[in-house]
A and B are shown apart, each in its own frame.
Chain A
Amino acid sequence: MKPPKFDYASPDSLAEALELLARGQGEARPLAGGQSLMPVLAFRLAAPALLVDLRQVPGLDRIDIGPDGVRLGARVRWRDIERDARLCTAAPLLAEAIGHVAHYQIRNRGTVGGSLAHADPAAELPGIAVASDALVEVASVRGQRTIAAGDFFLGALSTALEPDELITALVLPPWPARRHAAFEELSRRRGDFAMAGVAVGFELDGNARATGTRIAAIGAADRPLRLRTAESALDGRTVDARAIAEAAAAASAEVDPADDLHASAAYRRNLVGVLVERAIARACPPPFNRREAA
């Protein structure tokens, strides 16, 4: 369990970090919290020539909340999000989902950029990003660009990042005042990767009809998915038991889960439906949110 040999650099500016990544020609990897990368190295599943430690790069650990939404620097840790009370109103879905991320030891080190770059299909943050229409800001010596979260995740552990690019921030658009939202997941043990999870958000108009509906699932395909059919099933309708059931059924039909050690594909498909149903019901303000029994 000793990593293969690598060089190590700890640049103190973003420009220098990007320069090192560019010069590495794909053999350099950025290091932030190390919660995914270090085990990969210990198992010798990867052997990068150079690790570019981002610890001294200024500005990447900032959480900025403004009219454009919430901007989470790439080196923001789960613990920073948990501790920032402003996020409870500025990004309630994020605040709720963070409690499900791993265990506190990991939350003390794991980062926003690391989670996005690792792109585990069951990770919470990518699901929140997709559900929120978030933007991923990336930089390289060639310049900066912004990638929509929906285009960022290409598959399991695969993203739209070029080898010389570094994630600098995740931007969550402003949270509408009337949006109701909930996050639900089920894992084998608390803190494990979810067997499946869902993020749900919608606004209610004067007639208790859902608008701006967004439903996303994690752990139910090779990447976080927006469930467009399920969204359509709910959007524009009065949020009642029937609408919820139809959205849940649509969600089940829409996901593309796989069998693995922890759950069968059929189970995951069912679970997504149950979680969507429960998330919508919980997101509803009273009196709609009485839990629907089986």
Chain B
Amino acid sequence: MGERAPDLLPESAADGRPFVGRPVQRVEDLRLLRGRGRYADDVALPGMLHAAMLRSSVAHARLRGIDASAALALPGVHAVITGADVARACGGAVPRVPLRLQPLECMEPYRQPAIVADRVRHVGEVLAVVVADSLAIAEDALERIEVDLETLPAVADWRSADSGDCLLFDGTQTNRGVTFRATRGDAAAAFASAAHVQRERFSMQRQAPVTMEARGVVAEWLADGERIVVHGAAKVPFFNRRACASMLGIDASKMDFLEGDTGGSFGARGEFYVEDFLVPFAARHLGRTIKWISDRREDLMTMAQSRESEAELEMAFAADGTILGVRGTAWCDLGAYPRTNGLIQPRNIPQFLTGPYRIAAVDIASHVLFTNKGPAGTYRAPGRFETALFCERLLERGAQALGLDPVQVRRRNLLTAADMPWHFADCSPSAPPSSGQTETDSGDYLELYERCLAEFDWVARQARQGRQPDGRYHGIGSACFIEGGAAGPRENARIELAGDGRIRLIVGSTSVGQGLETSLGQIAADALGVPMSAIDMLHGSTNLLAEGFGSYHSRSTVMGGSAIVDAAGKFKAALRELAATYLECLPEQVELAGTEARSPRGRAMSFAELARHESIGVDGSFANHHHTYAYGAACAHVAVDPRTGHVELLDYLVVEDVGRAINPLLVHGQLIGGTVQGMGGVCLEQMVYDGDGQMLTGTLADYLLPTSTDYPRIRGLTFEAYPSPINPIGAKGAGEGGTIVVGAVMVNAIAAALREFGVNPVSLPLSPSRLWETIEAARSTVK
């Protein structure tokens, strides 16, 4: 679908064809490419002061005291706010960050304090906030603050955390916060009857979702009414307002969180971070408007980190390759705190490890461990990128052990339309609104895998594997995936007829750069029967709607779009009602044609004329506790230089069925961009901490991100064979699929290339150095 030429502009499309399904160019781009975006750092308000954070340089310590007198003496410094100041203003204790997802009772002792009160638990944790006339002065002041820390031994890996020798949280008996367990069927029986059991131990590195725009908060103090307006909100502004107001001890109506443009989220940006409390707190404390913009080093230290895990797993096979069951244990290193959504990766690992396969028996435990590293959060495809690799490697290795072709084993075990809906393993514990139970909605996973193999020319390429004349080894690999999306509980939309006859659409979904205004504009234009250009869209901010849920879990288009469909129906009914009065006919006789209402006798009024008489405003909503499951497959062709460990990606194809592609350009972009991001996890990205809990990857020269020029040969195909039956537009969340499968398919391809060396990569990233060492180790074993 990427080959199809995009329509020039949404305005050009008044030819009666629906907008949904067409590759409409992003309506956002003209503005953003001309530099007219409004990101957090673009917000400049009169009289604004600037904040800088004093961050801990040690990973684990007791705070004995802070002497800020030299900093306060610096001209231009307005305040140095410490944990003691925050506690004093907040009823004696420093408020703590609430869990947004999976708010389990047992997480209570592990919640993150908004600022260090007595104990530092990771490098980068905030010890004090300096507010000054300029950022330069604030940073000068940071150097003058004397901090008295009693350094404690750092708990730098999950094993020492699990030993419990050093407890990180007072009032707990363990650093193991919770254990998730997913079960289905009778795993013991399945393993007892197996012809072959494949065992593997995997490890996945710590990664950081790096957004192009760093985090930023501008807290505007409105003295009359003692209100605080927070600029720079993203992803989940409504939740963040509730969290912040509750931590400040004020009513949420005293705050607004405004969403501007957002330069990426990947799960991390827009979650509630301590600065989202500290900056509004400082604004209230001083009665001033205050700006704080994170720099890249701060973001790397403190924005969500994810994926670090180990897993010991086994997969049971029948002699014919039928997968009978999977069981085992995972250990997830969440760093210092669970923060708002850090539990999602460890809870997804056991439930979604079976991926797109018909595996009837499951028993997997996943332990959550806290260490003195950067706190956890989600990273695009949380728990899914990891488990796709685990599952696919078990499958591939098990098939080889049985003497079967892994492709045949996939065919035997992939879910088909006849299996729908397939109930995944139940996962517990689970906090409402999540029930811990979920099932697939629609699709035929086998059919799409076959399509992927055919498009890739799998059979012909098989013959071209192995050593080439240039000394490199070629290999091909394939893997399959599912992608959960469309988290509930609901989303809201409002449609208004403005005084000038234009249609104002307000939705609770948020834009983190994914083209939301375009995709939701297409849905709204079709639902209302008007051109996209007749609609002005607003989204996300808390001053627009009573309630919104935002963008995560690939939900914004499906949930926001479905809410729009509901609102559009009500809006058209209201329009007919209004027009009927002036056109002198019955409401059901009114024909809505574009931005005009017509009577059976040929009278017509434009929306603009109707708007002069009366305004209209309707609210729509879509509630849903079921998830959509997009699914797909990918194939990769690599060339590996065994002497340097260098991997060249020669070809990569990923296919995904998204139910309904609202905008093929956007879906295609998600697929390609997600794939490149996943490549980072395979080859480049690794957040490294030493034994003292010091972060060694504090710049983008050391934390290596993939760029658009690094992986030129990526192709994506989108299918719409099986619309989702659980929402009115048939769409499935499609923001993460590209990422999920990359690790699995790349490792399969690399292992295939190096088959004659007997290489079995079990940990990422496969840097040239690590891959070469793996090859050397295998070579010496062969000898």
Contacts and interface: CB of A to CB of B under 8 A. Distances in A.
A190 B709 contact: yes
Contact of A291 (B139, B470, B646, B707): B470
A89 interface: no
A273 B767 CA distance: 19
A294 B710 contact: no
A186 B688 contact: no
B710 A189 contact: yes
24 contacts: A1-B297, A2-B139, A5-B136, A43-B297, A186-B644, A188-B684, A188-B704, A188-B767, A189-B706, A190-B709, A190-B710, A193-B701, A261-B686, A261-B696, A261-B697, A262-B767, A263-B769, A266-B773, A267-B772, A271-B644, A274-B644, A291-B470, A291-B471, A294-B642
A270 interface: yes
A271 B471 CA distance: 15
Contact of B470 (A188, A267, A271, A293): A293
Interface in A241-262: 261-262
Contacts of A267: 645, 768-769, 772-773
A138 to B, nearest CB: 28
Interface in B701-723: 701-702, 704, 706-707, 709-710
Contact of B769 (A4, A43, A264): A264
Nearest to B468: A293
A195 B768 contact: yes
B251 interface: no
B140 interface: yes
B295 A188 contact: no
Interface of B: 135-136, 139-140, 143, 295-297, 469-471, 641-646, 684, 686, 688, 696-697, 701-702, 704, 706-707, 709-710, 767-769, 772-773
Nearest to A39: B699
Nearest to B142: A44
Given A44-B143, A261-B702, A2 B696 contact: no
A192 interface: yes
Contacts of B471: 291-294
A235 B688 CA distance: 43
Contacts of A270: 643, 772
A81 B469 CA distance: 35
By DSSP majority rule, is chain A's interface helix, strand, loop, or mixed? Answer: loop
B643 A188 contact: no
Contacts of A193: 701
A51 B769 CA distance: 40
Contacts of B296: 1
Contacts of B686: 261
Interface string A221-247: 000000000000000000000000000
Contact of B643 (A1, A43, A263, A294): A294
B143 A263 contact: no
A294 B469 CA distance: 9
B769 A274 contact: no
Contacts of A189: 684, 704, 706-707, 710
B85 to A, nearest CB: 24
Contact of A1 (B295, B684, B704, B769): B295
Q: For the side of the interface on A, what is the size category?
A: 20 to 34
A165 B593 CA distance: 79
B768 A188 contact: yes
A195 B643 contact: no
A189 B641 CA distance: 16
A192 B701 contact: yes
Contacts of A262: 702, 704, 767, 769
Interface in A192-231: 192-193, 195
Q: Which of A4, A188, A266, A274 has the most CB of B within 10 A?
A: A188
Contacts of A2: 135-136, 139
A219 B520 CA distance: 51
Contacts of B768: 186, 188, 195, 263, 267
A195 B697 CA distance: 16
Nearest to A263: B769
A123 to B, nearest CB: 13
Nearest to A277: B643
Contacts of A274: 643-644
Given A189-B707, A291-B471, A292-B471, 11 more contacts: A2-B139, A43-B297, A186-B646, A189-B704, A189-B706, A195-B768, A261-B686, A264-B773, A267-B773, A270-B643, A294-B641
B468 to A, nearest CB: 8
Contacts of A188: 684, 704, 767-768
A293 B706 CA distance: 29
Nearest to A291: B470
A184 B143 CA distance: 44
A4 B697 CA distance: 23
A284 B247 CA distance: 71
Contacts of A4: 140
A36 to B, nearest CB: 11
Nearest to B698: A43
Contacts of B143: 44
Contacts of B470: 291, 293
Q: Which of A4, A5, A262, A266 has the most CB of B within 10 A?
A: A262
Nearest to B52: A2
Contacts of A190: 709-710
Interface string A163-193: 0000000000000000000000010111011
B14 to A, nearest CB: 43
A44 to B, nearest CB: 7
B130 to A, nearest CB: 12
A116 B773 CA distance: 33
B393 to A, nearest CB: 24
A32 to B, nearest CB: 20
B216 to A, nearest CB: 13
B53 to A, nearest CB: 12
Nearest to B137: A2
B767 A263 contact: yes
A291 B472 CA distance: 12
Contacts of A44: 139, 143
A193 B701 CA distance: 9
A177 B646 CA distance: 34
Contacts of A271: 644
Given A2-B135, A261-B697, A293-B471, A195 B769 contact: yes
A94 B723 CA distance: 58
Q: Which of A1, A193, A195, A264 has the most CB of B within 10 A?
A: A1
Nearest to B136: A2
Contacts of B136: 2, 5
Contacts of B707: 189
A167 to B, nearest CB: 24
B771 to A, nearest CB: 10
A188 B685 CA distance: 11
Interface string A277-294: 000000000000001111
A150 to B, nearest CB: 28
Contacts of A263: 767-769
4 closest A-B pairs by CB: A293-B471, A263-B769, A294-B471, A267-B769
A67 B706 CA distance: 45
Contacts of A192: 701, 704
Contacts of B701: 192-193
A118 to B, nearest CB: 13
A293 B641 CA distance: 10
Contact of B688 (A261, A292, A293): A261
A175 to B, nearest CB: 29
A293 B469 contact: yes
Contacts of B696: 261
B774 to A, nearest CB: 11
A35 to B, nearest CB: 12
Contacts of A186: 644, 646, 768
Contacts of B469: 293
Contacts of B644: 186, 271, 274
Nearest to B683: A188
Nearest to A292: B471
